[in-house]
Amino acid sequence: MSRFVNKFYKAFDTLVDTGAQSLENLFSRDVHHVIITGLSRSGKSMFFTTLMSLLSQRSQQTFDNLPLLRSLPKELIQSVELRPIEGEALFPLDRNLQKLQSRQWPESTEQIYGFELVLTTKPLNAISKLLRKSNQIIFRFHDYPGEWLTDLPMLHKEFVAWSDSAWSQQLNPPQKHYASDWHAFVESYDFDRLPNEELVGDYMQQYRNYLIAAKSKGITLLQPGSMLIPSPKFNWEKNGFAPLPSRIASDPEHPWTLLFQKNFEHFKKIWLAPLQESYFSKADKQIVMLDLHQGLSHSRAHLNQLKETLSNLASSFVYGADKWYKPKILFRHEISKVAFVATKIDLIPNSQHENFLHLLQDITSGIRAHLREKEVEFQHFLISAMQTTDPGSCENCLRFTNPDGDYEEWEFESIPDRLKALDPEQNYPAINTMVPKDVLARMNHAQGIDRLIEYLIK
Amino acid sequence: MNEPQYQERVKKRTLQEAQPELSLPESDVPLQNDKAVIEDTGSGIKTLLIALFTTVLAIIGFSLIDAYLYVTDLMASHPLLASLLAALLLAVALAIFALIRNEWKGLRAIGKYSNDLFSIEELKTKGDVATTRRALKHRGKLQTGSAFARGCYHAFEHSLREHHTNDEVLKIYQDMVLSPIERQAKSVLKRESATAGGISLISPNSFIQTLGILWISLRTLRRISLVFGIRPSISGNWRLLRIALENLAAGSLTDLLTDEIAAQLGGTLGDKLLANSVDAVAVASLNQRLGKALIRELSKH
């Protein structure tokens, strides 16, 4: 009897605790589930590193390094804390900062990091003080390899449709410039041989070589990107696949088609669906991070392709108008606010920022049409996680230290304000800088992060 | 790979120098702003001021004569006590005059607001970033008399970045300079008003209360001006003088009225205390009014 009473008491206690925690979460915590949608090299990791450093340093400085974060004045912040999300690796903030201080850029992300940025604010009024109530503003972030993001649209496709679309992309610029070796390999390939582990491995390796070459040349639409940075949850050697030429893929009974179709479905089930469910479907806000420099440094075709990649991604997220009851009562997460962010703006002279912003707006025009239909709020931002450059001798000039340690000055011609204004035969090389000596000071000169966070929490 | 060759739209050159450490922009270009129109105070206001001034003089005069008559009356029956009281009254009056003189000198020592500055609204609508930053820097120099304002300006200057737009610079200025100064000034005013109420509560007669109000009014003006680092311009002074005189008149009239009511009620110590409490609340409120007017005056530009 006493065991039963104890059990009942414990269960009751747990229930009360859970209820109290839920009420606490509901009323005194403001949780922002922010999904950062950034392709590879878009600057996600540097953004996190700088954001956390600036917030941590903010209260200790006489000046304000995030002066436009008006909803969270520095006097109001009691503490800033980085908390792990259960079951996820914590973002390597200290490691990244150490790397920067030893004048190396942080390594690109090759696994998923989940973390909460918890800002505890001081009580605002006497009643709150009396109740010792302190509000918490929580940003829930995930950092992940950008390569995995481009795979999400594959969830809505069958193998043959995906293979055909991948093939048609490779036949058009800019991909076709880097796919010649792969195409030559496929053309001479004998598909009459039955697929075995060795043959499939060789076929996939050739495709992977193409993906690696294309990635190094600024191609963003690379599927499956997970082939470049494999997940521990999916075995490419055993269950791999790659696009097949139409003449093979169109035959549903062909052994190669049958095998790749089976592996493709397995890939969706084992890897893509859980990936989307765990990290990309529980968000109410989205930051779409874009590195336009990569596209500009190659060609207009690259930028057009970036635009296409972005439009394709729209179908992978759940968008909807902002209604307070959706997350609190219906427990439904829909993205109601989107920030389109062009990163590394310090690599463009101030005089060209306006054109750069218009170019960003042009690139997001496809996805924006989708957002308007869903009544989703959006805005465009230019940010840089660090000021690595200095003004030059003219208004379109910038100075920077290159990776060899030489101090250079580049003079830019006018940046096009839309894709059509960029001559298909011309490009703007991207500045590649060494990590500056005064890295912390330059981090404090980050641009636009305060505007962005202010927009998200307002 | 058969990637096409693209024409680069960038000119590159290597420099024979090392990358400099970051430093904040320090420009010292003198402002060439158009002179703001000094507000016309008008002859009607002058007449009103004269009326208020004479009213206050009359109240002080009557209070003084009232005190004098009280002492002379007392002299007939208790010459020693009357002499002591007269000496005490004189000493209190002299001490308060000295305090008033000090406050006045202190207030005059604070730099005066310059009317040739652009207002924040003008900077918002007409200014570009460079003009705004120069104008705000100039304001900062004017307000160096206040350690608090100096600190605010220092933080503001160090928070500004080259990419901030005109609107953003003004928002940051509002958040980091105007709002904290205003908050600080309001907190000073709160303390001063409490002091004003206290003086009214303990003042034994109308004469001392009037002098006390005059002193605390000047002290409030000086302390608030010290937070801003500037005192009002001529036009602002006229407005404040009017309010100060109105306050003096209202304070003294309240005192006379409450004294009369206390006398009608029986004139016991309790009645006197009640009357003084009413006075204290009235004087504290009037002091708040003066302080708020000064804060408005110094914040609105």
> pLDDT for A357-394, tens place per residue?
999 999 999 999 888 888 899 999 999 999 999 999 99
Q: Answer yes or no: do B14 and A407 touch at CB < 8 A.
A: yes
What pLDDT was estimated at residue A100?
A: 94
Q: Answer yes or no: do B8 and A429 touch at CB < 8 A.
A: yes
Tell me the C-alpha distance between A263 and A249, whole Å: 14
Q: Where are the domains of chain A?
A: 30-149+282-457, 158-279
Contacts of residue A373, Cβ cutoff 8 Å, sequence gap at least 6: none
Q: Answer yes or no: do A409 and B6 touch at CB < 8 A.
A: no
Q: Answer yes or no: do A445 and B17 touch at CB < 8 A.
A: no
What's the token pair of residue B86? 């007269």
A106 touching B (Cβ < 8 Å): no
Tell me the C-alpha distance between A264 and B289, whole Å: 77
3-state secondary structure B25-39: CCCCCCCCCCCCCCC
The edge-to-edge listing of strands for the beta sheet with A113-121 is A77-84, A113-121, A136-143, A29-38, A285-290, A337-342, A377-382
Q: Has residue A26 got a pLDDT over 90?
A: no
Which residues of chain A does B159 touch, with a Cβ-Cβ cutoff of 8 Å? 63-65, 67
What pLDDT was estimated at residue B24?
A: 41
pLDDT confidence bin for A400, thresholds 50/70/90: very high
What pLDDT was estimated at residue B27?
A: 39
pLDDT confidence bin for A211, thresholds 50/70/90: very high
DSSP single-letter state for residue A66: S
What's the token pair of residue B224? 């608030």
pLDDT confidence bin for A21, thresholds 50/70/90: low
Least confident of A312-321, A431-440, B182-191: A312-321
Helix (H, G, I), strand (E, B) or coil at A196: coil
Sequential pLDDT tens for chain B (301 residues): 567 788 999 999 999 998 888 754 343 333 232 333 223 334 455 665 666 667 667 777 777 777 788 888 888 888 888 888 888 888 888 887 887 787 777 667 666 665 556 677 888 887 788 889 988 888 888 888 788 888 898 889 888 988 899 999 999 999 999 999 999 999 999 999 998 888 888 777 777 777 888 888 888 888 888 888 887 766 666 677 777 777 777 777 777 777 777 667 666 667 767 777 888 888 888 888 888 888 887 776 5
A198 touching B (Cβ < 8 Å): no
Which residues of chain B does A432 touch, with a Cβ-Cβ cutoff of 8 Å? none
What's the token pair of residue A412? 């830019």
What pLDDT was estimated at residue B31?
A: 29
B7 touching A (Cβ < 8 Å): yes
pLDDT confidence bin for A38, thresholds 50/70/90: confident
Least confident of A1-10, A338-347, B218-227: A1-10
Q: Answer yes or no: do A64 and B176 touch at CB < 8 A.
A: yes
Q: Where are the domains of chain B?
A: 45-116+181-299
Q: Which of B22, B155, B156 sits opposite A438 (nearest CB)?
A: B22
Residues, chain A:
458
Helix (H, G, I), strand (E, B) or coil at B59: helix
Q: Which residue of B has its CA nearest to A218?
A: B3
Which one of A60, A61, A63, A395 makes the best mutation probe of the B interface by having the most chain B beta carbons within 10 Å?
A63
Average pLDDT, chain A: 87
User: Other C-beta atoms within 10 Å of A425: how many?
Assistant: 11
Tell me the C-alpha distance between A140 and A138, whole Å: 6
Least confident of A205-219, A425-439, B44-58: B44-58
Cβ distance A350 to B129 under 8 Å?
A: no
Helix (H, G, I), strand (E, B) or coil at A86: coil
Alpha carbon distances (Å) from A416 to A5, A322, A342, B11? 74, 34, 15, 16
Burial class (CB in 10 A: 0-12, 13-18, 19+), A427: buried
Pairing of strands B10-15, A407-412: antiparallel
| Closest approach of B138 to chain A, Cα-based (Å) | 19
- Average pLDDT (A417-423) is 95
What pLDDT was estimated at residue A304?
A: 93
Enumerate residues 152 to 171 of chain B having a beta carbon within 8 A of any beta carbon in chain A: 154-164, 168, 171
> pLDDT for A51-110, tens place per residue?
999 988 887 777 888 999 988 888 888 888 888 888 888 889 999 999 999 999 998 888
What pLDDT was estimated at residue A212?
A: 93
Tell me the C-alpha distance between A80 and A67, whole Å: 17
Helix (H, G, I), strand (E, B) or coil at A290: strand
Least confident of A15-19, A35-39, A214-218, B79-83: A15-19
| Closest approach of B143 to chain A, Cα-based (Å) | 18
Q: Answer yes or no: do B6 and A299 touch at CB < 8 A.
A: yes
Q: Answer yes or no: do A438 and B21 touch at CB < 8 A.
A: yes
User: Other C-beta atoms within 10 Å of B81: how many?
Assistant: 12
What pLDDT was estimated at residue B281?
A: 86
What pLDDT was estimated at residue A46?
A: 93
Tell me the C-alpha distance between B142 and B150, whole Å: 10
A356 touching B (Cβ < 8 Å): no
What pLDDT was estimated at residue A299?
A: 92
B42 touching A (Cβ < 8 Å): no
Contacts of residue A356, Cβ cutoff 8 Å, sequence gap at least 6: A292, A342, A345, A348, A382, A415
Helix (H, G, I), strand (E, B) or coil at A84: strand
Q: Answer yes or no: do A441 and B172 touch at CB < 8 A.
A: no
Give the percent of chain A with pLDDT over 90.
53
What's the token pair of residue B107? 């207030």
Of A64, A95, A84, which is closest to residue A142 (Cα–Cα)? A84
The DSSP-derived string for B100-127 is HHHHHHHHHHSPBPPTTSPPHHHHHHT-
ipTM of predicted assembly, 2 dp: 0.78
Tell me the C-alpha distance between B290 and B284, whole Å: 10
| Closest approach of B251 to chain A, Cα-based (Å) | 33
Tell me the C-alpha distance between B243 and B224, whole Å: 16
Report the amino acid identity of residue A51.
L
Q: Answer yes or no: do B1 and A429 touch at CB < 8 A.
A: no
Contacts of residue A396, Cβ cutoff 8 Å, sequence gap at least 6: A349, A351, A352, A411, A412, A413, A414
3-state helix, strand, coil in chain B (%, to 5): 75, 5, 25
What pLDDT was estimated at residue A403?
A: 94
Detail the DSSP E strand segments found in A312-442: 337-342, 377-382, 390-391, 397-401, 407-412, 426-427
B269 touching A (Cβ < 8 Å): no
What's the token pair of residue A244? 């097949």
Pairing of strands A390-391, A337-342: unpaired
Q: Has residue A267 got a pLDDT over 80?
A: yes
A412 touching B (Cβ < 8 Å): yes
